[in-house]
Structure 1
Amino acid sequence: MSLNPRITHWQDKRVWLIGAGHGIGAALARRLQSAGAALALSGRNPQALEAIASARCVVLPFDATDAAAWQHACDTLSTRWGNIDLIILLAGDYQALRAWELTPDVARRLTDINLMAPFYAVAACVPQLMRQKSGGIALVASVAGAGGMPNALVYGATKAAVNHLAQTLYLDLAPHGIGVWVINPGFVKTRLTAGNDFAMPALISPEQAADEIIAGFARGDFDIHFPKRFTRWIKLAALLPYRCWFYLMHKVTGL
């Protein structure tokens, strides 16, 4: 039995993608446009959004780390569309960091986009979904949130928190008929992972990631994780005693 409504037909679905200018967000925007969805595309770079948008798209640029901008954007879109069927927050940032490299400024920057932005999204958008008594929200986390990993000092911590946030949202919103999804990718070939200096197991393209996300919505999954040949092993390893987890992380990453 699926935990969420199954989304198998995208024709005229009103979908708001935040972080649509690059990587997985851009690939997902193209896939959903082809499937007939009515899209609103958001991000910080208007030119990048315009390059992806079709004539039918709403281009709504804003900074996801600005709480007031979230509320303004949500109000603008709900006025234009009436209801919002699905909100997908893909905006995020990554910087490889070891413990001795951390600075307060870096911690704040990564936390603002990876964790505070989802909180701002919830504060701005959930009241609209509650008024509608329909729709849903999907948050993009990462399999890096499954447990501590070298280089993921801030990134992994924020993504673990996003997973916790999504679980709590589900408990609150599912009884009201509102869908909640958490998306946990493994390694995807984007500008964020381009700087990694270690082998990335089961690396996939943004287009493959977009296909996995769409398939997860079709199944009604709560946790859309991929590629499963990698993410299943990570999830299983996270259940092991810490001694085993620490050994595996050092062994796999070489760090």
Structure 2
Amino acid sequence: MTDTTLSSPPVQTGKLAWITGASSGIGRAVAIKLAREGYRVAVSARSADKLMELQAEMPDRIFAFPLDVTDRAAASSVANAIRASLGPIDLAIFSAGSYKRDSVRRFNSGAFAETLNLNVIGTAHTLEAVIPDMIARRSGEICVVASVAGYVGLPGGGFYGATKAALNNLCEALYPELEREGVRMRVINPGFVDTPLTAKNDFPMPFLISVDEAAESIVDGLKTNKFEIIFPWKMAFAIKFLHALPHRLRFALTRKMLRK
């Protein structure tokens, strides 16, 4: 069972953010940047050790709540523990997810199901854990980290891209309903970011940026009224241009991405 008990309740100053997928990569960088800007930040991920290391960097602003988002009951329990210890969640950023390249020669529905379960169903579990309370308060903001990979099906990224397309669609569907309930909904679509996940890639990654640059783009985006936070702009332009092309032209370009 996950231990979500804090040793002592912190002084409740500053808005409260909850970030999943916070043990590394974009989630970790955003947690640190928000904490530096005055937020209290509850951080969740499966790796309790990494969360505790993060908490130790800013123990008065960052608070560890280990969680496997694929566990629906645990997601609800952790959200309740955060609210009980720290107060209402003002901002939720759900970035938990994973990526592995796929191929038609080793097409595996089980691997697809694992990716879908973490990236999409796991996100749904955390959405379910915060939406009712935010609606009841008619206050709050939810951001889901998807990817520009959700715009176009790219060779080797079918499983990952499909999950990110699903998240983009889900956020678009939820936006007007949540807006009516007084809750802001956003989707975050990064391009290539230098993280432990992308470090495994063995192909060129155009317009690659650092996690700190990604975190800055996200936090700056939170200060606007935009539904979509997409970056870097060169990657955003390229992927949206590719998405707008007729299939014949689009496939002519994506064929060039095939491995020999």
TM-score by length of 1: 0.92
Tell me which residue corresponds to 2:141. 136
Q: How does 1:120-135 map to 2 (within 5 A)?
A: 120-135=125-140
**1:208 and 2:178 correspond:** no
User: Which residue, 219, 224, 230 being the options, matches 1:219?
Assistant: 224
Q: Structure 2 unaligned runs (5+)?
A: 1-12
On the 8 A contact 1:186/1:226 being kept in 2, the answer is yes
Aligned equivalents of 1:141, 1:99: Cα separation in 2: 23
Q: Write the letter of the residue equivalent to 1:64.
A: V
**1:156 and 2:161 correspond:** yes
| Percent of pairs with identical residues | 37
Tell me which residue corresponds to 2:18. 16
1:254 Cα offset (Å)? 4.8
Q: How does 1:50-129 map to 2 (within 5 A)?
A: 50-53=52-55, 54-56=58-60, 57-129=62-134
Tell me which residue corresponds to 2:7. none
What secondary structure does 2:93 align onto? strand
1:133 Cα offset (Å)? 0.8
Aligned equivalents of 1:204, 1:181: Cα separation in 2: 21
> Which protein, 1 or 2, shows the higher relative CO under an 8 Å CA cutoff with sep ≥ 6?
1
Q: Write the letter of the residue equivalent to 1:49.
A: L
Number of matched pairs: 244
Larger displacement relative to structure 2 (123-132 or 75-84): 75-84
TM-score by length of 2: 0.90
What secondary structure does 1:219 align onto? coil
Deviations 1:209-241 (A, max 9, x none): 001101111122111010011112211220111
1:102 Cα offset (Å)? 2.2
Aligned equivalents of 1:124, 1:16: Cα separation in 2: 11
Q: Write the letter of the residue equivalent to 1:174.
A: E
Tell me which residue corresponds to 2:37. 35
Tell me which residue corresponds to 2:249. 244
Tell me which residue corresponds to 2:5. none
Deviations 1:176-204 (A, max 9, x none): 22111100010011111112121100001
1:82 Cα offset (Å)? 3.0
Q: Structure 1 unaligned runs (5+)?
A: 1-10
What secondary structure does 1:194 align onto? helix
Runs of 4+ residues deviating >3 angstroms: none
1:168 Cα offset (Å)? 0.8
Q: Write the letter of the residue equivalent to 2:159.
A: V
